Structure 1
Amino acid sequence: MFSRLWVAAALYAVALSAPTYPYSTGAAERSAEMGVLSEYFQMLASKVQAGKNMAEAPVCDLSKAVMPVASTTPLPPPSAGLTLKHVAIGRGTQNYTCGTDASAAPFAVGAMATLYNSTCVASTYPDLLSVLPNVALQFDLTDVNQASLSPTNLLISGHHYFQNLTTPTFNLDTAAMDIGFAPCSKNNSVPAPAGSPQGQGGVGHGSVAWLKLIAEDGATGDLEEVYRVNTAGGNPPATCAGMPAAFEVQYAAEYWFFKKA
């Protein structure tokens, strides 16, 4: 009985809850989308079953969390002297504009996302964390301030937005958590690995790049570097043909926040 109780508690943050926003439109007709969700729930069920036979509960030890590395062209590692402070799943939109030239590529004008606390998932169930961005992408985004991330119970730890076209910003000072505030600049970028999600239900134009960001003046909480990895969706079409003057593309990603040791 004891083991069952702690397993339920340990996995509560990623367990099935009543969805607070629905599957993306037409999900039932798209086998790729339903396959992503089926894989997630099978993985979750297997961990609950395995946990029943464990003698001790997993510990939320950030020193055991290992950030994903792109296989062919990895991002530079965190700078010497930094330690992991927080991990979040970001769920929101990449934003673009188009001019009058239909043959031109859409112009990126920033992003907006809600960040959901995934820190203990990163340290105890990294394989489960790795599927969460694509799983979260399969649910329509109807409210960027949704209290928890469907289909999980991960709670909000902050928000991501752009102060201007070149300053991605992370506000992780919330009523529930006091992690810090970080306006950033891009330090490095690599393409999302081959096989990354195309978009909801396997339909879209691919996943946005993985990034290393450096905190700028005004950062708090000793935050120094931020990584965007394991991206799902977010890329625009190659040209503006048929696109409106402004549009959004839904995406999700893991964000890893590093602080001074």
Structure 2
Amino acid sequence: MLSVLAFTVPLALQFLLVSSSPIQVSGCEVPNFENLMHLPQGFPAPYGELSYVTVGLGTQNYTCSDDGTYKSIGAVAELIDISCLPPAEFEIVTDVVIKYWKEAPAEETIEDLIYSINMIDNPVFLGEHYFVSDPMTGAGIPKFDFTTSGVNAGNVDAFVLTKKAFGAPAPTGMQDVDWLSLTNIGAGRLADEVYRTDTREGQPPASCTPGSEPITVKYAAKYWFIGGSIKAGYSYY
């Protein structure tokens, strides 16, 4: 487990894991968070209060369509509380974690990472992001699930099912997945809105051979949870 974490967890978060000093590591207030989101012009601003801010570390998943292009089939990510990071580290955290994630051993999967991280009883790791199937249409629904780890473990309401409300290309380039605004579809109390910003990587190749195997592409992003009734707790080491 330690070898996995050494490759995938950035130094700033490794420090939080092992520090014996009484440093607040989870649930800090983030003042003026709208200014920290750096939303592109035309992107809708959040209308509620910030409940959580996390960095997501995982994979975007794709299948090859009949026309020889990749189609998204969802994502899987671990969500790590970054609200207590110093301002300088907060700004660059997605750059740091994508570097470590891309340098992880080739055989290391996001499922391995999540398993390893969840072996640690640490509120820095708040939960997971993944997709569930709509029982009516079969379409994928983005889910953010804090029910099994972190400060909300055991709270059956600490999740949210969402739908895309707005999206825009990443201002950092075509290699990075879009920035998104997602809204609660009426399931879960974790948030009313979820924003994905500061994305790094995650885009598939431009073309593929029809019938080829699905692929995963590593990515990182900040996820901001707005509103909801499941508020951040406070934990110290």
For residue 177 of structure 2, the aligned residue among 171, 188, 208 is: 208
For residue 98 of structure 1, the aligned residue among 64, 78, 83 is: 64
Q: Deviations over 1:61-111 (max 9, x none)?
A: 33343432244x4520012xx10000111111000001344xx32011100
Q: 1:54 aligns to what?
A: none
Q: 1:172 aligns to what?
A: 146
Query: 1:23: how far off?
Result: 4.8
CA distance 1:209–1:98, change in 2 (3 Å): same
Contact 2:203 2:217 in 1 (8 A): yes
Is residue 84 of structure 2 the alignment partner of residue 110 of structure 1? no
Q: 1:186 aligns to what?
A: 164
Query: 1:245: how far off?
Result: 2.6
TM-score by length of 1: 0.64
Query: 1:257: how far off?
Result: 0.2
Q: Name which of structure 1's ranges 179-188 and 131-140 shifts more when overlaid on structure 2.
A: 131-140
CA distance in 2, matches of 1:90, 1:216: 21
Contact 2:167 2:179 in 1 (8 A): yes
Is residue 92 of structure 2 the alignment partner of residue 134 of structure 1? no
Contact 2:5 2:117 in 1 (8 A): no
Amino acid at match of 1:106: Y
CA distance in 2, matches of 1:154, 1:147: 14
Query: 1:166: how far off?
Result: 3.8
Q: Deviations over 1:142-183 (max 9, x none)?
A: 42315559xxx9831000001133410000123431282100
Q: 1:144 aligns to what?
A: 113
Q: 2:19 aligns to what?
A: none
Amino acid at match of 1:90: G
Contact 1:89 1:118 in 2 (8 A): yes
For residue 37 of structure 2, the aligned residue among 41, 64, 68 is: 68
CA distance 1:175–1:70, change in 2 (3 Å): closer
Contact 1:70 1:193 in 2 (8 A): no
CA distance in 1, matches of 2:3, 2:91: 20
List gaps (5 residues or longer) in structure 2. Answer: 13-23, 134-138, 230-237
Is residue 192 of structure 2 the alignment partner of residue 218 of structure 1? no
Aligned residues: 195
Q: Percent identity?
A: 30
CA distance in 1, matches of 2:211, 2:203: 14
What is the aligned-residue RMSD (CA, Å)? 3.2
CA distance in 2, matches of 1:147, 1:155: 14
CA distance 1:144–1:228, change in 2 (3 Å): same
Q: Which has the higher contact order (CA 8 A, sep 6+)?
A: 2
Quick check: which has more Rg, 1 or 2?
1
Q: 1:20 aligns to what?
A: 4
For residue 159 of structure 1, the aligned residue among 121, 125, 128 is: 128
Amino acid at match of 2:91: S
List gaps (5 residues or longer) in structure 1. Answer: 1-17, 25-39, 45-56, 196-204
CA distance in 2, matches of 1:238, 1:22: 32
SS at match of 1:158: strand
Query: 1:242: how far off?
Result: 8.8
Q: 1:33 aligns to what?
A: none
